[in-house]
C-alpha cells in the first residue's frame, strides 16, 4: 500500500511506458483502466504525459478539476474511474505545455502528493514517452509496483524494450510485460490477419528478457473512433483481457 499523504490509500501502481509517442500508450492505459474497473476494482489514472495529455479526451472529460485546501480533486469518468491530468487544470484544453523539464517534473510530483485519490486498488500512470528526465522523476517519486511496455512492430522494438527494461530494473521496478499495439489488421470480410509492418519479433524479445507478452491489439478503426469521441469506456473489445488477468494475478488486491 502506498501512502503519499494522509488521505490516500493506493494499493497497486502500474506505469505504462513507451519508447516514443503515438504508439498507443494512452489507449492501452485507458483500456487497462476500463477493463479493471469492469472487474469491480477502484481505479485511477494519473496522466503523467504532461506535454501530450490525452487521457481526459479519451474519456470525454472536459470539466476542470476542483481544488480545496486539502488538495486537488480528480475528475470521475462515467464509470467512476478517477482521473488527474494537466488538461483538467489548464484554462484552455488545447493550449500547449511549453514548460521546461523541471516544471513538468514538478507537476508530476504534485499529482502524486497533492491529489486526493482516496481509496484506489489500481492506479495506472500514463508515463511520458521515452526515457526523459520526467520519466525518471516518475520512477523516483512514485512507488511503482510494475511497468507495462507498449510497442508497435515497426518500432526499434528491441532497443526500446531493453531501455525501458533497464531503466525499470535499475530502479528495482518489475516489468510486468509487453503489449504490442498495431500488431496487425483484420480483414472485416474474411477475418484474415495482415501483418502490416511485417512479422513481429515480440515473442523473441520477451523470451530473451524473460518477460511476458501480455497482449496484442490490431489497428482497429473502432478504437480510433472511440478515442476521438471520448468513448473508450463504451468499447467492448477484449484485446487486453489477458493483460488484465495477468495484472490481477501478479498484483493481487487483498
Ligand atoms: P500515445 O499515448 O502513445 O502517444 P495514443 O494512445 O494517444 O498514443 O494513440 C495515438 C492515436 O492513435 C490515437 O488517436 C488513437 O486513437 C490511435 N490509435 C492507437 N492505437 C490504435 C489502434 N490499435 N487502432 C486504431 N487507432 C489507434
- Residue 137 Cβ < 6 Å to ligand 1: no
Q: What mean pLDDT comes out for the span 231-254? A: 95
Ordered structural domains, the chain, with CATH: 9-250 (3.40.50.300)
Q: Provide the CB-side half-sphere exposure for 192 (13 A, CA).
A: 5
Residue 25 near ligand 1, beta carbon < 6 Å:
yes
Length of the chain: 254
Q: Does residue 7 or residue 239 have the better pLDDT?
A: 239
Query: In this predicted structure, what is the pLDDT of residue 167?
Result: 87
Kindly report, residue by residue over 180-220, the tens digit of the pLDDT: 999 999 998 998 999 888 778 888 888 988 889 999 999 99
Helical H segments across the chain, by residue range:
25-38, 55-58, 101-113, 133-141, 157-170, 202-209, 221-229, 241-250
What is the whole-number distance in angstroms between the Cα of residue 27 and the centre of ligand 1?
Answer: 6
Q: Is the CB of 160 under 6 A from ligand 1?
A: no
- Tens digit of pLDDT for each residue in 25-76? 999 999 999 999 999 999 999 999 988 889 999 999 988 888 888 899 999 9
Cell of 226: 472511440
* Beta carbon of 42 within 6 Å of any ligand 1 atom: no
What is the reported pLDDT for 122? 98
Give the DSSP H or E segment for 151.
strand 146-151
Cα 22 to middle of ligand 1, angstroms: 6
Amino acid at each position: 500500500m502506498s501512502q503519499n499523504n494522509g488521505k490516500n490509500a493506493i494499493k497497486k501502481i502500474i506505469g505504462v511506458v513507451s519508447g516514443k509517442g503515438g504508439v498507443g500508450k494512452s489507449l492501452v492505459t485507458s483500456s487497462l483502466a476500463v477493463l479493471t474497473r469492469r472487474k469491480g476494482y477502484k481505479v485511477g489514472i494519473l496522466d503523467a504525459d504532461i506535454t501530450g495529455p490525452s487521457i481526459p479526451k479519451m474519456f470525454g472529460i472536459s470539466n476542470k478539476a476542483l481544488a480545496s485546501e486539502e488538495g486537488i480533486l480528480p475528475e470521475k469518468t462515467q464509470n467512476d474511474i478517477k482521473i488527474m491530468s494537466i488538461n483538467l487544470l489548464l484554462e484552455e484544453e488545447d493550449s500547449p505545455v511549453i514548460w521546461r523539464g523541471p516544471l513538468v517534473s514538478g507537476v508530476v510530483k504534485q499529482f502524486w502528493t497533492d491529489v486526493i485519490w482516496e481509496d484506489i486498488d489500481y492506479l495506472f500512470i500514463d508515463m511520458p514517452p521515452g526515457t526523459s528526465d520526467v520519466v525518471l522523476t516518475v520512477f523516483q517519486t512514485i512507488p511503482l509496483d510494475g511497468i507495462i511496455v507498449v510497442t508497435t512492430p515497426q518500432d526499434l522494438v528491441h532497443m526500446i524494450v531493453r531501455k525501458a527494461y533497464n531503466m525499470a530494473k535499475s530502479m528495482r521496478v518489475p516489468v510486468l510485460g509487453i503489449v504490442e499495439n498495431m500488431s496487425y489488421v483484420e480483414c472485416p470480410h474474411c477475418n484474415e490477419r495482415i501483418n502490416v509492418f511485417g512479422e513481429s519479433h515480440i515473442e523473441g524479445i520477451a523470451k530473451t528478457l524473460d518477460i511476458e507478452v501480455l497482449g496484442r491489439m490490431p489497428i482497429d478503426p473502432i478504437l480510433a473512433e472511440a478515442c476521438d469521441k471520448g468513448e473508450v469506456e463504451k468499447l467492448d473489445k477484449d484485446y487486453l483481457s489477458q493483460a488484465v488477468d495477468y495484472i490481477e494475478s501478479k498484483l493481487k488486491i487483498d
